[in-house]
Amino acid sequence: MSTVQDQVSASLEEHSMEYHFEAFSGECTRSSAAELSEKAGKFGPDVVAGLGGGRAIDTAKAVSHELGSALVTIPTVASNDAPCSALSVQFTENHVLDRFLILERNPDVVLVDSQVIAEAPTRYFVAGMGDALATWFEAYTCTKSSAKNLPGGVTTAAALNLARLCHDTLMEYGVSAKLAVDQDAVTPAVEKVIEANILLSGVGFESSGLAAAHGIHEGLQALEGTEGALHGELVAFGTIAQLVMEDYSKGEIDRVIDFCNAVGLPVTLRQLGVSDASRENLMKAAEVACGEGLTTHNSYFEVNPDLVLEAIIGANALGDASLKRS
């Protein structure tokens, strides 16, 4: 079976285009991007293409930004909303958030082959739904708080409606799409959820802003045991915690938790790999989540680690209760 790289190579050759592949180190850091920029710069490319998951794509974005080239993103999984945005999230070598690099413009082409997405492990597709699940709730919060979006502007009614469409698509088609992807099948539901995970979530978060769900995801990453959790899995739990902190009704929160359970997104700390759910340990996550510059501060009220800690504990309790129900 040919790899996606083989398919891309064959297509480029067919069109007599010169190309050069460079492997990505596995982490999007300033140094990995600088190293690739130096290598790529020798070829003076007109186009830089990012092929792979979110980190590979974010690295390609940083390289294209550095070289001033056109940018094509070719996601091979739909596990996050990185492919469409004009943002490269850079980390330290230890996968701690370093900075948000805002690009001058969005990718010129976003190329998604639905069959490639469906054949990738279902867990990635489901994680993408976790990332997309946060989009509407965070966008709505940013509207209430008049928080700035990532490029420093404010949201529009159109962007907010795309964020809402992202949410509604997941609720209507998420479960059937997940079941189809389990069988490597591309159904209309799968196409809709790919659009939600990659396009609607990307445009939604970029145009309206992020809030506590993503901030709490940063905090959860600081806890021992979460190293194996995917971005969207942590964001899904962060979304539930955000809803708890924002005092959504139990009915609304349960609707989100039931969705997570139905598609296989984690709803408890244990499912994320955290075995020490003591207050002392969770306080580490709450403190990180309230760090300077993190999007938890886009809430429409003053946040502090105590508030986030109670929300994490409350979310975990609701998740636990849901597992006992089912």
Residue of 108, 214, 254, 258 with catalytic role: 214
- CA–CA distances in Å: residue 56 to residues 4, 156, 157, 235: 14, 30, 32, 19
Q: Are 200 and 132 in contact (CB under 8 A)?
A: yes
Residue 58 or 131: the one with the smaller Cβ distance to Zn ion is 131
Rounded to a whole number of angstroms, the minimum distance from the CB of residue 56 to Zn ion is: 16
Range in contact with Zn ion (rule: CB under 5 A) among 93-101, 112-120, 123-131, 148-156? 123-131
Concatenated DSSP letters of 74-114: EESS-SSSTTTSSEEEEE-TTS-EEEEEE-SS--SEE---H
Note if 58 is an active site residue: no
Q: Please identify, using beta-carbon distances, which residue of 150 and 175 lies nearer to Zn ion.
A: 150
| Structural element, H or E, at residue 157 | helix 157-182
217 is catalytic: yes
Tell me phi and psi for residue 279, to 5 degrees: -55, -40
Shortest CB 215 distance to Zn ion, Å: 11
| Region near Zn ion per CB under 5 A, out of 13-21, 48-56, 96-104, 131-139 | 131-139
For Zn ion, the nearest residue by Cβ is 131
**Closer by beta carbon to Zn ion, 76 or else 197:** 197
* Minimum CB distance to Zn ion, residue 292 (Å): 20
- What residues have CB less than 8 Å from 293, skipping those under 6 apart? none
The whole-angstrom separation of Cα 314 and Cα 117 is 34
Token pair listed for 89 = 């999230």
- In angstroms, what is the minimal distance from the CB of 235 to Zn ion? 5
Q: How far is the CB of 131 from Zn ion (least distance, A)?
A: 4
- State yes or no: is 95 an active-site residue: no
φ, ψ for residue 99 (rounded to 5)? -160, 160
| Binder among 40, 63, 131, 133 for Zn ion (CB under 5 A) | 131
Q: Does 206 bind Zn ion (CB under 5 A)?
A: no
Confirm whether 98 is a catalytic residue: no
State the distance between the two ends of the chain, measured CA to CA, in whole angstroms: 40
Question: How far is the C-alpha of 288 from the C-alpha of 82, rounded, in Å?
Answer: 23
Residue nearer to Zn ion on the CB measure, 131 or 195: 131
The DSSP bridge partners found for residue 99 are 90
The two tokens of residue 134 are 């946060």
Question: Around Cβ 13, how many Cβ atoms within 10 Å?
Answer: 11
Residue 65 vs 231, nearer CB to Zn ion: 231
- Count interface residues toward Zn ion (CB under 5 A): 1
Catalytic residues: 131, 214, 217, 231
Q: Which residues bind Zn ion (CB under 5 A)?
A: 131
